[in-house]
Structure 1
Amino acid sequence: MIFRQLFDSVSGTYTYLIASRHGGEALIIDPVLEKVDRYLQLVRELDLKLVKAVDTHLHADHITGLGALRDRTHCITVMGEQTLADVVSMRVAEGDRVAIEGLSLDVLYTPGHTDDSYSFLMGGRVFTGDTLLIRGTGRTDFQNGDPRQQYDSIFNKLLKLPDETLVFPAHDYKGDTVSTIGEEKRFNPRLRVRSVDEYVDIMNNLNLPNPKMMDVAVPANIHVGLHQEEIARKGWAVSAAEAMALSGRSDIAIVDLREKAEREKHGTIPGALHAPYPELQEHISAGGILHELAAATGKRIVFYCAFGERSAMAVEAAQDAGLTSACHIEGGIDAWKKANGPVAK
């Protein structure tokens, strides 16, 4: 396995690049916009393919690299289902898994620092975002933070992990790179409390200034997903209502780009074909199933995914491959459900 811990000294952010090596699929956790060129250089040097980019929460101290990585690699962007960020193409919840070839991360909902804070468990490692830091915990005084929720996340989830579990946080300001659950139980001063009320009292009286980038970073990190707007301007998008009118027609092929686990959890549009987004290029290239379907039968390909991000990228790729009638459902199956479209399990 390939594991790299990268650091942004301006914001004190740790970014993690992980791959299983066999086929080179990789994912990245908590990327920083200014470091995107460095990440992609490392991806090239290690002969990897970035397929997923994950943020543990909506950051207030730096602008995320999710949007830039999506635009430059067409990777799937991942965050928790509570997030306000519009760049997200896969939203996860407690109990889900974020998988790439050869490895997967178990999803833990750990709110408190923010209401969209998640941790990701991979074998003997846990990526804790800003929930549990090395000898500290994330502040709880903005973005719907809640010290009681954070106490529950830490004491009833993270500290229940085996003591030898390695702790990799999203930030550190003292130069520490890694800890363990056992170390934090013994030495983290914020965790030496006898009750939740004592923890709440500590967190409510930190009196910290707001992060310097907060007024810039939070709005910027919410509004990153401009890709769908560009696709709509080109006339390559249909609304959920328009898609319902097209569904069932003999000249239309609706194609679901989501992963198997997403389809099982959230249902599908009845009659839709399945072509997972990571395999898209082979399907739309000459000789591929979708390319031949469109060429041989004249069917119009209508892509959809969870929220429209992956399908917007798929339409652009399909147009480049010569499938000029291809379009996508703006807003994905989320918009379809909101428009009361039928869903099959």
Structure 2
Amino acid sequence: MIFRQLFDSVSGTYSYLLASRHGGEALIIDPVLEKVDRYLKLMEELDLRLVKAVDTHLHADHITGLGALRDRTRCITVMGEQSQVDVVSMRIGEGDRLHVEGLSLDVLYTPGHTDDSYSFIMGDRIFTGDTLLIRGTGRTDFQNGDARQQYASLQRLMRLPEETLVFPAHDYKGDTVSTIGEEKRHNPRLQVRDAEAYAALMEGLHLPNPKMMDVAVPANMRQGLLQAEIARRGWAIGSTEAAALIGAHGVVLVDLREQAERAKHGVIPGSVHAPYADLQANLRPGGVLHDLATATGRALLFYCAFGERSAMAVQAAQDAGLLQTRHIAGGMGAWARAGLMVERPGCRAVAAQPASAGGA
């Protein structure tokens, strides 16, 4: 496995690059905007292809690299389903798994520092964001933080095997890694009797706001691809208009989501599955989507969760010369809000349920 812990000294942020092999797919956790060139250079040196960029929560002390990495690599951006970021490519929730080639991370919802905080378990290690730091914990006094919720999240983490390696999103003292056992015994904020004592401890800290907060939070909440530009070019249609095309001879609906998303949220009846991860191969001559469009003359109508992947797919298809391509603006989120039908394997068609606000 390839594992790199990368550090931004200005914000004290750790970012983590993960891949199973040289030449394979990669995932990065908590990237920093100013370090994007460094990440891309490292991935070039290691012969890696970035497919997912993940933030553990909405950061207040630096501007995320999610948007820049998406724009430069067409990777999938990922955040928790509670996040109020305008658009990311994939929303995850408690109990989900985050996959790239050869690697799988278990998703844990660990609120308290913020209401959209997540941790990720991969084998012998856990990436804790700002929930659990080395000999500390994330503050709980803004962004819908809640000390009692964080105490419950920390207690959950403390039930992991003591040898589990702890990799946080920040450190300001030079420490790089800890273990659950070390934190259980030596983290001063965990030496309290109950949630009320923890809340009293956190409420007494009276910490100043992060220096970058007024800039970082608004910037980090506006990460979405400008789907308005895709619409301006005439490459987008609304969900109700798309529903009228189901079964139409000249149109193929193409679902770009991963299989787990399809199982969780359902699919538009009559659509074919062509995961976004395989998009470039599918658009080349001999690829499934290229041949489907050119052999039959049918238009491709892409959709995903909330529109980001499908907007990028339309641009990629247009660049590949497949001009009869559009996408469903707002994706399955808009589809659900319109109360339109979805199918699930082995079940009859049902009305879609609205997903969490903001996503793609």
What amino acid sits opposite 2:265 in the alignment? Answer: H
The 2-side partners of 1:137 and 1:288 are apart by: 49
> Could you report, residue by residue, the CA deviation over 1:201-236 in whole angstroms, capped at 9, with x for unpaired residues?
001111001001111100100012133222112111
What amino acid sits opposite 1:300 in the alignment? Answer: A
> Could you report, residue by residue, the CA deviation over 1:245-264 in whole angstroms, capped at 9, with x for unpaired residues?
22221111000001111111
Q: Deviation of residue 242 (structure 1)?
A: 1.4
- SS of the residue corresponding to residue 290 of structure 1 reads helix
- Compare 316-325 and 110-119 and name the one that shifted more: 316-325
Contact 2:225–2:308 (Cα < 8 Å) also in 1: no
Q: Deviation of residue 87 (structure 1)?
A: 3.5
> Could you report, residue by residue, the CA deviation over 1:151-185 in whole angstroms, capped at 9, with x for unpaired residues?
00001x21110000000000000000000000000
Partner of 1:55: 55
Partner of 2:234: 235
Partner of 1:83: 83
Map of 1:261-272 to 2, 5 A cutoff?
261-272=260-271
Q: Deviation of residue 23 (structure 1)?
A: 4.7
Partner of 2:317: 318
The 1-side partners of 2:86 and 2:69 are apart by: 14
Partner of 2:354: none
Aligned residues: 344
> Could you report, residue by residue, the CA deviation over 1:257-291 in whole angstroms, capped at 9, with x for unpaired residues?
01111111111001100000011111111121211
Sequence identity (%): 74
Partner of 1:280: 279
Contact 2:164–2:180 (Cα < 8 Å) also in 1: yes
Q: Deviation of residue 302 (structure 1)?
A: 0.3
The 2-side partners of 1:181 and 1:258 are apart by: 35
Partner of 1:246: 245
The 2-side partners of 1:300 and 1:58 are apart by: 38
Contact 1:66–1:87 (Cα < 8 Å) also in 2: no
What amino acid sits opposite 1:100 in the alignment? Answer: V
Partner of 1:7: 7
Contact 1:23–1:101 (Cα < 8 Å) also in 2: no
Map of 1:142-181 to 2, 5 A cutoff?
142-155=142-155, 157-181=156-180
Q: Deviation of residue 22 (structure 1)?
A: 5.8
Contact 1:67–1:87 (Cα < 8 Å) also in 2: no
The 2-side partners of 1:8 and 1:198 are apart by: 33
What amino acid sits opposite 1:246 in the alignment? Answer: L
Partner of 2:352: none
Partner of 1:130: 130
Partner of 1:330: 329
- Compare 242-251 and 120-129 and name the one that shifted more: 242-251
> Could you report, residue by residue, the CA deviation over 1:118-138 in whole angstroms, capped at 9, with x for unpaired residues?
000000100000000000000
Contact 1:55–1:78 (Cα < 8 Å) also in 2: yes
What amino acid sits opposite 1:174 in the alignment? Answer: K
The 2-side partners of 1:169 and 1:159 are apart by: 14
What amino acid sits opposite 2:26 in the alignment? Answer: A
- Compare 195-204 and 291-300 and name the one that shifted more: 291-300
Off by >6 Å, runs of 4+ in structure 1: none
Partner of 1:203: 202
What amino acid sits opposite 1:329 in the alignment? Answer: I
The 1-side partners of 2:215 and 2:209 are apart by: 12
What amino acid sits opposite 2:104 in the alignment? Answer: S
* CA-atom RMSD in angstroms: 0.8
- Compare 22-31 and 9-18 and name the one that shifted more: 22-31
- SS of the residue corresponding to residue 58 of structure 1 reads coil
In the alignment, structure 1 segments of 5+ residues that lack a partner are none
